[in-house]
Structure 1
Amino acid sequence: MIELQEGVIPEIEVTKPYALVAITKHGVQKARQMLQDFPHVDLYYMEKFEHGDEQAKGIQLFKGTVRLLLPALFKKYKGLILIISLGAVVRMIAPILEDKKKDPGVLVIDDKAEHVISVLSGHIGGANALTHEVANVIGAKPIITTASDVQKTIPVDLFGARFGWVWDSDEKLTPVSAAVVNEEHVAIVQETGETNWWMHDTPIPSSIKQYQTIEHAIEAKPDAALIVTDRILERDEEVILTNGVIYRPKSIVLGMGCNRGTSFDEIEAVIDETLAELKLSKKSVKALVTIDLKKDEQALIDITNRYGWKFVTYTPGQLNEMPLPNPSETVFKYTGAYGVSEPAAMRYANTSDLLLEKKKSGNVTISIARLNFC
């Protein structure tokens, strides 16, 4: 709990580049939903709206007027997303503004989440680009009031953000961004994830070239690279990261079954071990799916809460609609479904292919599918 007091800069925990703040009941509901779909934010809201799961989700509660929280956020974050009225925001930030080269980007969302308004540092602070991304995430209208918008290209730190993509490391964000802005040769390799990431009404700049494979991109010797993949790169591919950023799309679905009362630690160990075997990134996991008999399985609930994954369950009838590579009469006897982990993963991923057919490990059964983005 953050106790806000006049004249005291509060201690905050910064884990993401952007802060999301809400102060009303409806604003908090929208902010909690955004947290699932836009993983680049630290969320703050008033303690009177506490749900009880804030610590597990990394949400920071505060007590007192939000005006006293903003100075700390201003100093620590690249941008602020405030579900607060525009007039109130203008009054609160006026005393703490410094310089357009230093101030973070600030944008405002109305309480019904119908509009996203770029308020401060639209160009240099990146608020205009952030406004477009957030508006896409929540289905709102972006409001940009600057006379001329920034160069229509890729905002490297927000690339794919509307889809929940995250970068592996921020080490090369600045030099790669410079290469994009300076119209140097930038390679894009996309192995999975949403393909409709270009958001402008103009063609992609000729300096940005798309390649079918990392090998082809390496051969082209670009000045910078954007790599969209859920794979752990092979050693001979890592040269592309000399000045490159890896983006992790939410493309992996974990189909799971487990014995009642299986521990969190055992389930996490199986997930980590299996992803490592397949050379897949944990950051690309989108959902953990299972049969509805497991909708109250505490360890499954806890692990999806910890990592912000979707937790989806299906009825036996829904699972039996899927083509099964390994149907089991024993599983049917106890659950009414001929399989759990395999059909659940295929159903959510909208595919009949599996990256991993069911694997039994201790009390856990796991299957893995890749989302079909077509």
Structure 2
Amino acid sequence: MAKKYAVVAITRNGIRLALKLGERLEDSEVYSYAKYGDGLEQVEGKHYLFNGPVKELLPSLFRRYEGVILMFSLGAAVRLIAPLLVGKATDPAVIVIDERGEHVISMLSGHLGGANRLTLRIAELLGSRPVITTASDGQGGFAVDLLGREFGWRADSFAPVKAVSAALVNGEPLAFLQESGERNWLPAGARLPGHVRCCSEMEELSQFPITAAILVTDRLLAAEEEAVLPEHTVVYRPRSLVVGLGCNRGTSAEELEVVVKETLADLGLSLLSVRKAATAELKGDEAGLLSLCAKYGWELELFAAERLNTVTMDRPSEVVFRATGAYGVCEPAALLSSGAAGLLQRKRKSGNVTIAVSRIPFENIGGEGDG
């Protein structure tokens, strides 16, 4: 779909307001009931007219747009969208706005669908009052299920999210420990509730009573660490690791994948935390490498030989230089891509593959800079 949001209006006042919002809200298209369009014409990609009942229009909008904005009463909206609901993971954001534009209501998919954020954005554009009823947003805090979403953080399992969210909104003692990843995860204007205790190391989690915990780390936890965690613990994996890779021509994706997995396992690091693969520019067409990056959604960062040679190496290789023009590939590529001062894993060779691993030194993360 070309646009993200559909704005639907069925009254004259609603249509006027919808057109106003359509002009101000980027990536939006307006759908007006033709009977009250008063001579308005369709404009491709901007404004459409419909003649049939709105209930016949909504199913297609639900499938095509990330957000559906309805310019009529909340009661009517409830009745119209009820048959269309599937689940919070797939339903679009639904916003309801009264035709006078006084209130913008986050109706459906407030968190996962982004309706709460969209509500605040629309209210600002129209000078309206936003209405958000989800508990974590109402308390001015953060949502456990959306933590780090804009940075690509992924949870090991979403099974404990519901219980941890309940602990957060009900004021139960909750521990928060971040070892890696972006620091600016707290939404703008939000605050950390008083019952959330920030810890600097794992040992702190056993020093006070807690009913739930949130961990942000790229490390795989040892058995003794897992033993001190409460039953309701969410472990988020920030995208904080870079794998520097070198390989012989024609190396398969399967061989590359095995080397990456084995190396990370030996280091006690999560595959979910890999952000990028980095290598020499001449490997940019390597089918196995491209396939591996596509499988896991990794960015592939390429460096010219001249750039790789700007990194001082303890063990420069004449063999690699004759083949690539660089005295090393996996180590300098990992360092350049991550911006780290050192490596978590120096050059390691396995079959047709060489690998090095580094950690991105995000701002204000203590101890990250040493890579």
Q: TM-score, normalised by structure 2?
A: 0.69
- Other-structure match for 1:42: none
The Cα of 1:357 is off from its aligned counterpart by 0.3
Number of aligned residue pairs: 290
Q: Which moved more, 1:90-99 or 1:316-325?
A: 90-99
Moved more, 291-300 or 318-327: 318-327
SS at the partner of 1:121?
strand
Where do residues 209-228 of structure 1 align in structure 2 (5 Å cutoff)?
209-228=197-216
1:134-149 map, 5 Å = 142-143=121-122, 146-147=130-131
Offset of residue 84 of structure 1: 6.4
1:117-165 deviations in Å (ceiling 9; x for gaps): x87436xx434993567x8xxxxx8335534552211201111111110
The yes-or-no answer on 1:165 pairing with 2:153 is yes
Q: Give the equivalent residue in structure 2 for 1:325.
A: 314
CA RMSD of aligned residues (A): 3.4
Does the 8 A contact of 2:343 with 2:357 survive in 1?
yes
In the alignment, structure 2 segments of 5+ residues that lack a partner are 5-56, 96-103, 124-128, 364-371
Aligned to 1:82: 65
Listed as ranges, the matches of 1:109-128 within 5 Å are 120-121=106-107, 125-127=109-111
Residue 264 of structure 1, CA deviation: 1.3
Amino acid aligned to 1:284: S
2:347 is paired with a residue of what secondary structure?
A: strand
Change (3 A) 1:97 1:129: closer
Which of 67, 76, 81 in structure 2 is aligned with 1:96? 81
Seen in structure 2, the aligned counterparts of structure 1 residues 209 and 326 have a Cα distance that, compared at 3 Å, is: same
2:110–2:116 contact (8 Å) kept in structure 1: no
Aligned twin of 2:346: 357
* 2:170 equivalent in structure 1: 182
Superposed CA offset, 1:303-348 (max 9, x none)? 1101111111110111112232322122112211111000110011
Letter in 2 for 1:82: Y
| Whole-angstrom CA distance in 2 between matches of 1:129 and 1:205 | 24
Unaligned runs of 5+ residues in structure 1 are 1-22, 28-64, 74-80, 110-117, 136-140
Q: 3-state SS of the aligned residue for 1:270?
A: helix
Question: What's the CA shift string for 1:201-223, capped at 9, x where partnerless?
Answer: 25421111100111111222311
Alignment of 1:1-374 (within 5 A): 23-24=1-2, 67-68=59-60, 70=62, 82-83=65-66, 86=69, 95-97=80-82, 106-107=92-93, 120-121=106-107, 125-127=109-111, 130-131=114-115, 142-143=121-122, 146-147=130-131, 150-201=138-189, 203-239=191-227, 240-374=229-363
Cα displacement (A) at 1:278: 0.7
Q: Distance in 2 between matches of 1:288 and 1:132?
A: 34
- For residues 171 and 84 of structure 2, the distance between their equivalents in structure 1, rounded to whole angstroms, comes to 27
**Alpha-carbon shift at residue 87 of structure 1 (Å):** 6.0
d(CA) in 2 for partners of 1:324, 1:93 = 64
Deviation at 1:174, TM superposition (A): 0.8
Please say if residues 177 and 198 of structure 2, whose CA atoms lie closer than 8 Å, have aligned partners that are also in contact.
Answer: yes
CA distance in 1, matches of 2:165, 2:112: 16
Contact 2:155–2:237 at 8 Å: present in 1 too? yes
Counterparts in 2 of 1:128 and 1:249: CA distance versus 1, 3 Å: closer
Specify the alignment match of 1:59 in structure 2: none
8 Å Cα contact 1:107/1:119 also seen in 2: no
CA contact (8 A) 2:93 2:113 kept: no
SS of structure 2 residue aligned to 1:152: coil
- How far apart in 1 are the matches of 2:113 and 2:193? 17
Secondary structure in 2 aligned to 1:261? Answer: coil
Secondary structure at the counterpart of residue 231 of structure 2: helix
Cα gap change, 1:150 to 1:368, in 2 (>3 Å)? same
Pair member with larger Rg: 2
Q: Distance in 2 between matches of 1:188 and 1:155?
A: 13
Percentage identity across aligned positions?
A: 37
CA shift, 1:96, in A, is 3.0
Relative to structure 1, is the Cα distance of residues 93 and 267 closer, same or farther in structure 2, using a 3 angstrom cutoff? farther
**What's the secondary structure of 1:265's corresponding residue?**
helix
Q: Equivalent residue for 2:33? A: none
Q: Secondary structure at 1:97's aligned position in 2? A: helix
Give the AA of the match of 1:319.
L
Distance in 2 between residues matched to 1:92 and 1:259, nearest whole Å: 59
Contact 1:156 1:177 in 2 (8 A): yes
* Distance in 2 separating the partners of 1:198 and 1:164: 14
The structure-2 alpha-carbon separation of the partners of 1:326 and 1:352, relative to structure 1 and needing over 3 Å to count, comes to: farther
1:330 to 1:356, Cα distance in 2 relative to 1, 3 A: same
SS of corresponding position for 1:146: strand
> What's the offset of the Cα at 1:92?
10
Structure 2 letter corresponding to 1:262 = T
